[in-house]
Amino acid sequence: MEHPKRKANRLCEYDYSTNGAYFITLCTQDRKKILSNIVGGGALDAPEIVLTEIGKFAHRYILSSNRIPGIVVDKFIIMPDHIHLILLVDQTAVNGTSRAPSPTNAVVPHFVSTFKRFCHRDIGTIIFQRSYYDHVIRNQQDYDEIWQYIENNPRKWLIEKRSCE
C-alpha cells in the first residue's frame, strides 16, 4: 500500500538559523483540548486562560527556552488545543559556535523538536502533532499583525465556541 506524500511544511531554500522572528503554531494530537480552558469573556470580562496540568508543563518549557543562547520567546499563548508563539532568533548572541547551520541543526526546527521531546517525556505520552506551522515574519507590520492575532486568540476562541452552541 502506497502512503500519501506529505507536503513539506518548511520553505525548502530557507535557512531556519537566520536571525529574525518566526511565528510558530504547535497543535495537539487529534486537536484534543488538553492544554488549557478559556473562561470568562462576558460583557465586562476579558477571557482568561486557565492552564491544565499538561499546559503547565508546556508553559514551563516555553519560559525555560529563553535561557537558550540566541533564542527568545517574545510572545506566546497556550490555547486548549494549540500553542502560538513568536520566536526571536539572534545567532550573533551565540559565542563559540563554529558549526555552519544546516537543515538538521537549524535553530527553529531544533527548538520545536526539543520543546516537544521534553513535554512528551515529562507527560509520558505524545501530545503534539508531528508537524507544526511556521511563518517567517518579514517586517514590522507582519510582526504587529501576528502579535495582535496571538493577543486576540482567546476572545476569538470564545466567539467561535459560542457561535457553534
Domain 20-164: give its CATH code: 3.30.70.1290
DSSP conformational letter for 13: T
DSSP string, 79-105: -SSEEEEEEEE-GGG--S--PPP-TTT
Amino acid 69: pLDDT: 83
Helix (H) or strand (E) holding 62: helix 53-64
CA–CA distances in Å: residue 123 to residues 10, 23, 25, 71: 27, 25, 20, 24
Q: Contact, 91 vs 72, CB < 8 A? A: no
Amino acid 3: pLDDT: 54
DSSP conformational letter for 147: H
Considering only CA atoms, which of 132, 127, 113, 119 is closest in space to residue 28?
127
Amino acid 60: pLDDT: 95
Question: Domain residues of the chain, as ranges?
Answer: 20-164
Q: Contact, 62 vs 114, CB < 8 A? A: no
Show pLDDT as tens, one digit a residue, over the chain (165 residues): 565 554 555 555 666 667 889 999 999 999 999 999 998 866 667 889 999 999 999 999 999 988 888 889 999 999 999 999 999 998 776 654 544 444 434 788 889 999 999 999 999 999 999 999 999 999 999 999 999 999 999 999 888 776 665
The pTM (predicted TM-score) of the whole model is 0.82
Q: Contact, 144 vs 70, CB < 8 A? A: no
Amino acid 164: pLDDT: 67
Amino acid 5: pLDDT: 55
Cβ burial of 154 (10 Å; 0-12, 13-18, 19+) is buried
